[in-house]
Structure 1
Amino acid sequence: MKNQFSRRTALKNMAGGAAVLASGMLLPERLQAAELLEVRLKGRIKHSVCKWCYKDIPLEELAKAAKGMGLSSIELLGPDDWPTLKKHGLTCAMAWGAEKSLTEGFNDPKYHDELVASYEAMIPKVANAGLNNLICFSGNRNGMSDEEGMKNCAVGLKRLMKTAEKHKVTLSMELLNSKVNHKDYMCDHTAWGVELAKMIDSDQFKLLYDIYHMQIMEGDVIRTIKDNHTYISHYHTGGVPGRNEIDETQELFYPAIMRAIVDTGYKGFVGQEFIPASKDPLASLKQSVVICDV
């Protein structure tokens, strides 16, 4: 059904600058970035964005835009980029730079020594920069059983827990789908990641729950979050299908998901990790932030 409000009427009626979008009533056209700068965020969600989704926008430009939109983080960046974020009053909610690759991870013992050395060197850098989340990956199965891979991950990651606990840096293993985007990736279901976290038994190991990926693999997003939130350190967004805007073009209703996250007592960040399909990617980013600002 077509929205009965014109753009002008919708803008005029936006109570507090965000009520229409925040309630899930999306405008019929994506707002231009300039029209969104006056939106006031509620503060119950800490907003972040993943830089890789905006490869054509220089970090300096994205940092200025993010700050103006009310975001406080740009993530999935390494040490070379952290000073730029700091200059603009931003943090990096999920750091990276210690991993080998998504496919070569902790489930294969032949990578353990290399990964442990890399993470041992990176963890203090993360802490010294005032950051507290560092991404890690399981790796691909390559014929290995999930049980064996879980045991191998636990062995390798336990070698890092003393350093992670000393510096209060959480190693966050990302849940990725193996159906569409990352064929054969092992940490592709929440239950598997939770069991791994129980084996490691440290507050400095948790899961990066990517809503896009887990909708594809298992659905039941809100119930899963409520049941397993103590094992989750961070969230990522993305529209299903296609990993584009999280608006009315896709199957998930993000305001309800965000309310469920807030209701768990979560105080961390939500990172926008969709690939903008519109001609104005910054307008899409701002729209998605407002949608998630419950």
Structure 2
Amino acid sequence: MPRFAANLSMLYPEHDFLDRFAAAAADGFQAVEYMSPYDYSPQQLKQRLDDNGLVQALFNAPPGNIAAGEKGTVSLPGRESEFRAGFDKALEYAAVLGNDRIHVMAGLLANEADRARHQQTYLENLSHAATQAAKAGITVLLEPINTRDMPGFFLNYQHQAQAICKAVGQANLKVQFDVYHCQIVEGDVATKLRRDIANIGHIQIAGVPDRHEPDMNNELNYPYLFELIDQLGYSGWVGCEYRPRGDTSKGLQWLRDWQGRSSQGPA
């Protein structure tokens, strides 16, 4: 059965952030992920993990100036020093929190004519990050994001991400496969999971098209995909990165149904 992690940036908005750890544990989650830990000290977050018996699965490296609408700096020419300093900070947090996955957001491409220059910066920064991360046993993740939610994002397709990993050529650089983003941009999710599973380092889920619960009220057959993920031998965490329609705990009926179905075994 897939191992699910609660994304605390989206789940439990009815609670203050630090209280979301306990809420996730109360609902049976064994791991958490979130976009940014940097508003808190790593010691504060580690205490919440320990108090609630939770594993830290993933967080993002600093994404640049969020207030200005930035979505990562790793592909931005002239921002290399900022990205690398931010990644060093992410490694410091990971050393305390114990996670072995860090996602680096690619950033925005304002002008398609500049793609080649951004691509070169992207490759160089990813190579640097993967080299530094390897010293700590950490995997660096890059994630294709759909153009509807994030117009202008540098990386949109699964094949693009896989090609970049191949070009960098480091074993600890992998793709973060977000089923929601993949379905919106290109579809054919099951085929891409089968094709790319060897270099998928993390999976995230949400209902399509509205990014709500991954239940039967969306266009994807998630029970089928969960079974496929198991069949493919994926053993990592599956991040629940969706916006609850209402109360988070009540909305987890999809998870309780799946766990009940899985515990019964094959018919």
The SS at the match of 1:185 is: coil
The SS at the match of 2:206 is: coil
Residue 112 of structure 1 is matched in structure 2 by 80
Of residues 251, 254, 266, the one that matches 2:234 is: 266
Matched, 1:287 2:253: yes
- Kindly report which structure 2 residues correspond to 1:7-46, keeping only aligned pairs within 5 A, or say none: 44-46=1-3
Of residues 52, 63, 72, the one that matches 2:30 is: 72
Sequence identity, in percent?
A: 22
Residue 84 of structure 1 is matched in structure 2 by 48
Of residues 148, 151, 157, the one that matches 2:126 is: 157
Residue 205 of structure 1 is matched in structure 2 by 173
The one-letter code matched in structure 1 to 2:250 is A
Residue 243 of structure 1 is matched in structure 2 by 211
Q: 1:291 to 1:222 in 2, by over 3 A?
A: farther
The one-letter code matched in structure 2 to 1:83 is Q
CA offset at residue 169 of structure 1? 1.0
CA offset at residue 292 of structure 1? 5.3
CA offset at residue 291 of structure 1? 5.2
Q: 1:62 to 1:129 in 2, by over 3 A?
A: closer
Matched, 1:55 2:27: no
> Following the alignment from structure 2 to structure 1, what is the Cα–Cα distance between the partners of residues 144 and 135?
25
The one-letter code matched in structure 2 to 1:199 is A
Q: 1:213 to 1:257 in 2, by over 3 A?
A: same
Of residues 164, 184, 198, the one that matches 1:196 is: 164
The one-letter code matched in structure 2 to 1:90 is L
Q: 1:57 to 1:244 in 2, by over 3 A?
A: same
CA offset at residue 173 of structure 1? 1.4
> Following the alignment from structure 1 to structure 2, what is the Cα–Cα distance between the partners of residues 228 and 148?
27
Residue 265 of structure 2 is matched in structure 1 by none
The one-letter code matched in structure 1 to 2:153 is Y
Deviations 1:78-137 (A, max 9, x none): 234232122111022112353325534222121111111111232143134321011111
Matched, 1:214 2:182: yes
> Following the alignment from structure 2 to structure 1, what is the Cα–Cα distance between the partners of residues 258 and 123?
34
Q: 1:81 to 1:96 in 2, by over 3 A?
A: farther
Unaligned 5+ runs, structure 2: 263-267
CA offset at residue 216 of structure 1? 0.3
> Following the alignment from structure 1 to structure 2, what is the Cα–Cα distance between the partners of residues 172 and 90?
21
> Following the alignment from structure 2 to structure 1, what is the Cα–Cα distance between the partners of residues 188 and 153?
20
> Following the alignment from structure 2 to structure 1, what is the Cα–Cα distance between the partners of residues 3 and 157?
25
> Following the alignment from structure 2 to structure 1, what is the Cα–Cα distance between the partners of residues 116 and 257?
39
> Following the alignment from structure 2 to structure 1, what is the Cα–Cα distance between the partners of residues 155 and 96?
29
CA offset at residue 68 of structure 1? 2.9
Deviations 1:29-73 (A, max 9, x none): xxxxxxxxxxxxxxx321111112133313454323322332111
Q: TM-score, normalized by length of structure 1?
A: 0.78
Q: 1:198 to 1:172 in 2, by over 3 A?
A: same
Is this contact kept in 2: 1:254–1:291, CA < 8 A? no
Number of residues of Structure 1 aligned to a counterpart in Structure 2: 248
Unaligned 5+ runs, structure 1: 1-43
- Kindly report which structure 2 residues correspond to 1:120-131, keeping only aligned pairs within 5 A, or say none: 120-131=88-99
Q: 1:60 to 1:143 in 2, by over 3 A?
A: closer
What's the C-alpha RMSD, in Å, of the aligned pairs? 1.9
Q: 1:268 to 1:291 in 2, by over 3 A?
A: farther
The one-letter code matched in structure 1 to 2:2 is I
CA offset at residue 232 of structure 1? 1.3
Q: 1:129 to 1:274 in 2, by over 3 A?
A: closer
Q: Which protein has the larger Cα radius of gyration, Structure 1 or Structure 2?
A: 1
